[in-house]
Structure 1
Amino acid sequence: MKKNNYSITFVLPRPSIGYPVGGYNIVYQIAHNLNKSGIKTAIIFLKDASIFIPNYKEINVKKSGIGIREKGFKVLFVVFNNRRIKTFYHLRLYRFLGVDYDYSILDNVDCYYYKGIENVNIKTDLIIATAWQTAYFVNEFVKNFKSKPFYLIQNSEDEPSFSGINSINAEKTYHFNFKKIVINKKLYNRFKNEDSLFFHVGIDTDFFKIKRDINKRGNVILFPLRRNLSKGAKYAIECARKLLTYDSKTEIKIIMFGEYKINEIPGDIRDKIEYHYIPTNKQLLELYNKASIFVLPSLVEGMSLLPLEAMACGCAVVVTDNGGINEYIIDEINGLICPIADAECLFNKVLYLLNNKQKREDLVKNGLETVKQFSYQQMNKDFINLIKPYLEDNSASK
C-alpha cells in the first residue's frame, strides 16, 4: 500500500472529543497553519500511549466528564480504530456531544489513529512528540522510519504534581536524542546546553476580547478548578473560602469553573459561589467578561493561556510564580504574582485590588497591551520561522 508523505507529523496521546486542552489546541492551530502555508502536515493520535512506556504505572484518577463524552470515546475506538480519524471531525460528529470548539480547523490536516508502530502507514520528514507519553512512541518510530525526531515541550511534565507516579518515566524522555522545542524561558534554561528551539504560544485575540465595560462588573472574582494536582485547585478553594468569610463592606462574588462536579466542591462554600462545569468557549468568554479579577493558583505551568485570555477580556490577574507565567506577567505592571501554594497571598492580593480601583485599572490597561504580542498569528509565524531551516536541511540531504 502506498504511504502518504508529510513534511511534519505531530503525535498526540489520544483524540480529543470535547474542547481540547491548551496543548492540543496549540498543535491544532499550528498544524492548520503549516498546511495553509504549503508545509504538508499530519497528526497521529495514539489509541494507548502507555503500551510504548516501560514500567508504566496506571494512575487511579477520578474521572470527570463521565457519560456522553466517555461513551463518545468508546464509539470512537470501535469505529475509527487503526484508520484515519479525520472523518469524525469532518462530519462534525463532536457537535452531538455538545462541543462548541471549531474542529473545522482540522479540515486541511490529515489525522491518523494508530495502536502500534506496525499500523503506521505514512512517511514524514520530521516527527514531533507533544507530551512525555508520545515521546516513547516517537522513540520507537524513528527506529523503524527515517524521520528526524523533535520534542515540543509545553510544560515541566516530570514534576510530580504533573505526572504523579510516572514522573520518572516523564523525566527519562528528556534524555532521548530529540531536538527540543520549548515555550518558556525556564525550560529553555533547563535545556540550554542542548541548543533547544524556543517560541511563544498564543491565544485567539479575535475571540477573547472585552464585551462588557470593566467599570460595570463589580467585585467578581473568577477561579479555574482543574483536576491535575499541578493546577492548584485546593489553593483556589482556600482563597475563595477566605474571601467569602471576609468582613467586606461590599459584596464579593465568587465564580468558579472547571472539571469538578458541583458536589465535589467543599460544602461550606458550594452554595455561596456560582459554578460552571466544563464551560463552552462562548460561556468562558462570558465569564471572563463578568469578572473584575482572575486568579490562577497553579503550581506549575508551561505557559498558561487562561490569564492571557482573561487579560484580553479586561480582567486584572493574580497569578502564582509557576514557571510559565513570567513569559508575560511583570509583577505590579500587568498582574500580581504570588509564590506557589500560598492561598493567603492570593487572598491578600485580591483584597488589595478590590480596594484599589486605580491599580486594578492600570493592570487591565497594561494587560491589554501585553496580549497583543501573543496572538495565534504571531505564534504561527514564529513556529514556521523556527522549523523551516530543518525542513530545508532535510530536503538538501535527500
Structure 2
Amino acid sequence: MLCARLVRNVRLQSALWTATQSQRRGCSSENSPSSTMVNRDFLTLKDFKPEEIEQLLWTAKDLKTRIRDNKELFQPLKGKSIAMLFQKKSTRTRLSTEMGMTLLGGHASFLSPDDIHLGVSESIEDTGRVLSRFADLLFGRVYGQSDLDVLAAEATVPVINGLSDQYHPLQILADFVTLQEYYGYLHGLKLAWVGDGNNIVHSLMMGCGKLGMELRVATPKGYEPDGQVIKDATKLSAQSGSTLHLTHDPMEAVYRADVIITDTWVSMGQEEEKLIRLRDFAGYQVNRKMVKEAASDWTFLHCLPRKQEEVTDDIFYDKKSLVWEEAENRKWTVMAVMLHLLMEYKPTILKPKLIRGS
C-alpha cells in the first residue's frame, strides 16, 4: 500500500508542478482551469473545490459543443484506456463511459461480475495493483463505498466512482449541467428532493453545498440521509451561503422549489424490501398536486430507470421534465472527468454562468 501511495504522490506532485509552470507562463485567466485534477481519484464531490466542480461542468459543456454540435473529431485520449469494474448492472453508466472514452479516442474494457469477482477470486488490493499496470483509469460501479476506497488506496492510476451505496457523483454532475443549460445559472436555485435518503441525494447534498444551491430533502421517517453526510453537507452549505433543510413532508420540500428530483424507492439489492418500501413511501409520488406547490418555472429530474409509483406520466413526460437531457449529459460529464484526471484541459467556449445575471 505504501509503495502505491508513493507512486501516486509523485505523479500528483508532477501534475501540480506542470500546472504551476503553466500559470507562470501566463496561461492563467478568468476562463482558464483554476487547479489541476490530473492523477486524482474521483470518489465524492466532497473532495473537490467549488471551482473544480465548476471546471468539470464547463468542460462537459465544451465537449458537448465541440463533438456533438460542431461535429469536431477531438481525440485527446488516443492511446489511453479505462478498466470498468461492475458489480451492478447498468445502462447509462456503462454506455456513457464506454462511448465517451471512444469519442475521446481511448479504449474502454468492461468487466462484469462474471468476469471479475471483486474481492472474491482476487483481493481488491491485488486487483487495484494489477489493473493499474494495464489501464490508465479504473472505474467502479459497486455496492460498498469501502471497496472503492481500498481500490483507490492500492491503485497507481486514478479511480472513478461510477456508483456506490454511499455516493453517485457522476449523476450529480449531469444534473448540474442540465440545470445550468436550462436556467442559465446554478447558485441560488432551490432544489427539492422527494424520496429515499440514498447515494444520489448524498452526492446532491455535497454538490449543492459546494455551489450554493438551496436543498430541501424530504424522506419518510427511517429513510433519512446518512448522519455524517448531513453533518458534512450542513458545513458546506454554511460556507457557500446556501441552506440544507431536512423534512418528512414532501409538500414542504417542494414549496416554491425550482427543481423537483426523485429516484427509485427500491434500489438494487433492496428487492426483498419492496412491499415495505412502497407502503412507507406512500404520499411521496411526484404528481400534479405536488408540483402545484413548486415555483411556476419548475423542472423535474430523475436519474432513471423510472417506475410509475415514483412519478406520474403527466409529470415525467411533461415539457418541464428534463430527464432526457439529464440522461444524455451523463456522457459529457463522465468524459469531462476522464479527461481532467488524465491531462490538463482548457475549454474553448466561454465559461457558463454560476450566478444569475453574472
User: TM above 0.5, one fold?
Assistant: no
Larger Rg: 1
TM norm structure 1: 0.28
Per the normalisation by structure 2, the TM-score is 0.30
